[in-house]
Amino acid sequence: MTPEPKNKIRVAIVDDEELARQVLREYLSSHPDVEIIAECANGFEAVKVVTEQKPNLVFLDIQMPKLDGFEVLELIGNECAVIFVTAHDHFAIRAFEVHAVDYLLKPVGAERFEAALKRARERLEGKVRPDAVPPAELAAAARPPAQYLERVPVRDGTRVFIIPVTKLDYAEAQDDYVALASEGKKHLKQQTIASLETALDPSRFLRVHRSYIVNLERVVKVEPYGKDSHVAVLATGAQLPVSRAGYARLRAFLDR
């Protein structure tokens, strides 16, 4: 993908309120180099549009049906610049931690809007990716402490799956991805297993192996395997390797 700076900026507006989209549309209409390619009323649509139409810039509301703005960013943040637009100021710090270009507060003023658009242009023209860290990692780091993940959004092409952590059997590291096993299927997500581990509730999920996190409720038994390693057998029949350190952690948890 080689976007030329002379090209039009392709913009998508994501907000569940028509009037809120209208304000942004109006502000953008005075910029001939900006093209609005899509408007979406919820997070699912946003992910689909970003995947299919590849906008450069997305104006993103935070509180929306289906997927909130942060979850959308987690799924699409690698592919475009994001400006959050919301009435809530308490998300600001989190927004910048996940490398949003800017954070606009409703009601949106024209001047403030122009400044945000300027920042977006600079980022797009400079073609500087803020860094190579996948957005899911940033999202995990920006999560308020003591608040664990309740659900994991996963994207498969243009489709979005939401896996409630109660339905997550285990997670397996696969290079830069994690495979999330849930209800007989595996979903790939670009995230390291270490950052997923920190996002999950440690009283429900345990890292039993360098490459595996297991949902403790699913573990039926732990059997010895080979000389000094073990294997955890899950209710689904899956067998996960348990390292020596993982076995110690598992024992510590079971003894509690």
Write the interaction track for another protein spanning residues 34-63; mark x where CB under 8 A is met and - where it is not. Answer: -------xx-x------------------x
Q: What do you get for the CA distance between the two ends of the chain, in Å?
A: 53
Q: Which of 162, 179, 231, 238 binds another protein (CB under 8 A)?
A: 162
Which residues from 72-101 bind another protein, rule CB under 8 A?
A: 87-88, 90
With respect to another protein, which residue has the nearer C-beta, 90 or 227? 90
Query: Is 153:67 a contact under the CB 8 Å cutoff?
Result: yes
Residue 31 binds another protein (CB under 8 A): no
**Minimum distance from residue 247 beta carbon to another protein (Å):** 35
**Minimum distance from residue 16 beta carbon to another protein (Å):** 7
**DSSP 8-state assignment for residue 56:** S
Angle at 98 between CA 36 and CA 65, to 5 degrees: 60
**Minimum distance from residue 244 beta carbon to another protein (Å):** 38
Stretch that binds another protein, among 19-27, 130-138, 205-213, 233-241 (CB under 8 A): 19-27
**Minimum distance from residue 106 beta carbon to another protein (Å):** 4
With respect to another protein, which residue has the nearer C-beta, 90 or 256? 90
- The C-alpha atoms of residue 197 and residue 27 are separated, in whole angstroms, by 42
- The C-alpha atoms of residue 107 and residue 86 are separated, in whole angstroms, by 8
Query: Is 208:240 a contact under the CB 8 Å cutoff?
Result: yes
- The C-alpha atoms of residue 105 and residue 194 are separated, in whole angstroms, by 34
Amino acid (one-letter) located at 38: A
Residue 158 binds another protein (CB under 8 A): no
Q: What residue has token string 């003591």?
A: 146
Residues 6+ positions from 84 with CB-CB distance below 8 Å: 60, 61, 62, 69, 91, 95, 100, 102, 103, 104
**Minimum distance from residue 154 beta carbon to another protein (Å):** 14
Write the interaction track for another protein spanning residues 99-138; mark x where CB under 8 A is met and - where it is not. Answer: ------xxxx------------------------------
Both tokens assigned to 156: 């498969």
- The C-alpha atoms of residue 26 and residue 28 are separated, in whole angstroms, by 5
The upper half-sphere exposure of residue 164, i.e. CA atoms within 13 Å in the direction of its Cβ, equals 3
Stretch that binds another protein, among 11-19, 112-120, 121-129, 201-209 (CB under 8 A): 11-19
* Binding region for another protein (CB under 8 A): 16-20, 22-23, 26, 41-42, 44, 63-68, 71, 87-88, 90, 105-108, 150-151, 162, 164
